[in-house]
């Protein structure tokens, strides 16, 4: 009898292995899950945030703004050949479901709002690039200010505020000179949150 040849299971597994998802597919899956979580509480998480910071937009508008900020950040990371998967994993509607430390809530020039979650080093978020990013839906560019606060509800301590000040300043200064924008840090106006305001300097 001839010798029976066993199938090469390694080759079979290789051939049937699932191909990695494209960034577009990853974003689509993330967005669908995020929208579903929003619908579960009818936007109550965002409504609370908007009320806290006195933002004159509604929760659905903040949902759209958040999705736009996530898409912009993912596009910037893809452009630089940086990881998108880990960034998307941190962006959850219910912040307690992630291992992140801070929530960043953006005021889009008093016409919109968005929320991104981040680790203390702000590693996935390019604040300078987002400041210059065009939002087609709103026909606006960038944002006017943002707030940083701890997801666990604890107050920011002096060391955290100093570290955030340095990280934000370094990020903005990488793309903008002191003669182009000013950055103001206010730890007192909103309890438990650091307010960061960025203003363009008018051309002389």
pLDDT at 120 exceeding the cut of 60: yes
Helix (H, G, I), strand (E, B) or coil at 157: coil
What angle is formed at CA 166 by the lines to CA 164 and CA 69, rounded to 5 degrees?
A: 55
How many other C-beta atoms lie within 10 A of the C-beta of residue 6? 6
Average pLDDT over residues 83-88: 93
Are residues 103 and 52 in contact, defined by beta-carbon separation less than 8 angstroms?
A: no
CA distances from 89 to 27, 64, 76, 93, 100 (A): 11, 18, 16, 11, 10
Place 203 in a pLDDT band, splitting at 50, 70 and 90.
low
pLDDT at 52 exceeding the cut of 50: yes
**pLDDT on residue 13:** 45
How many other C-beta atoms lie within 10 A of the C-beta of residue 17? 8
Main-chain phi, psi angles of 10, to 5 degrees: -65, -45
**pLDDT on residue 18:** 57
Strand partners, 146: 106, 196
Main-chain phi, psi angles of 158, to 5 degrees: -60, -40
**pLDDT on residue 202:** 74
**pLDDT on residue 12:** 39
How many other C-beta atoms lie within 10 A of the C-beta of residue 131? 21
Mean pLDDT taken over the chain:
90
**pLDDT on residue 10:** 44
- pLDDT digit string, tens, across residues 145-159: 999 999 999 999 999
The predicted model scores a pTM of 0.87
pLDDT at 188 exceeding the cut of 90: yes
Are residues 62 and 46 in contact, defined by beta-carbon separation less than 8 angstroms?
A: yes
Longest dimension (CA), the chain: 93
Are residues 104 and 123 in contact, defined by beta-carbon separation less than 8 angstroms?
A: no
- pLDDT digit string, tens, across residues 60-76: 999 999 999 999 999 99
- pLDDT digit string, tens, across residues 157-180: 999 999 999 999 999 999 999 899
**pLDDT on residue 81:** 86
- pLDDT digit string, tens, across residues 7-23: 444 443 444 445 678 88
């Amino acid at each position: 009898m001839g010798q029976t040849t066993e199938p090469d299971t390694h080759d079979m597994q290789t051939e049937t292995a699932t191909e990695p998802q494209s960034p577009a597919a990853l974003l689509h899956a993330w967005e669908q899950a995020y929208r579903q979580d929003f619908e579960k509480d009818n936007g109550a998480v965002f409504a609370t945030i908007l009320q806290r910071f006195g933002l004159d937009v509604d929760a659905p508008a903040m949902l759209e703004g958040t999705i736009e900020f996530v898409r912009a950040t993912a596009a910037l990371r893809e452009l630089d050949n940086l990881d998108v998967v880990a960034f998307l994993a941190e962006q959850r509607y219910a912040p307690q479901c992630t291992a992140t430390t801070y929530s960043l809530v953006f005021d889009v020039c008093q016409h919109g709002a968005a929320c991104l979650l981040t680790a203390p080093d702000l590693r996935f978020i390019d604040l300078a690039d987002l400041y210059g990013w065009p939002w087609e839906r709103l026909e606006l560019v960038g944002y006017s200010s943002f707030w940083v606060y701890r997801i666990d509800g604890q107050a920011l301590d002096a060391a955290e505020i100093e570290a955030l000040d340095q990280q934000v300043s370094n990020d903005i200064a990488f793309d903008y000179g002191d003669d182009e924008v000013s950055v103001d840090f206010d730890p007192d106006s909103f309890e438990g949150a650091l307010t960061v305001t960025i203003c363009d300097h008018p051309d002389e």
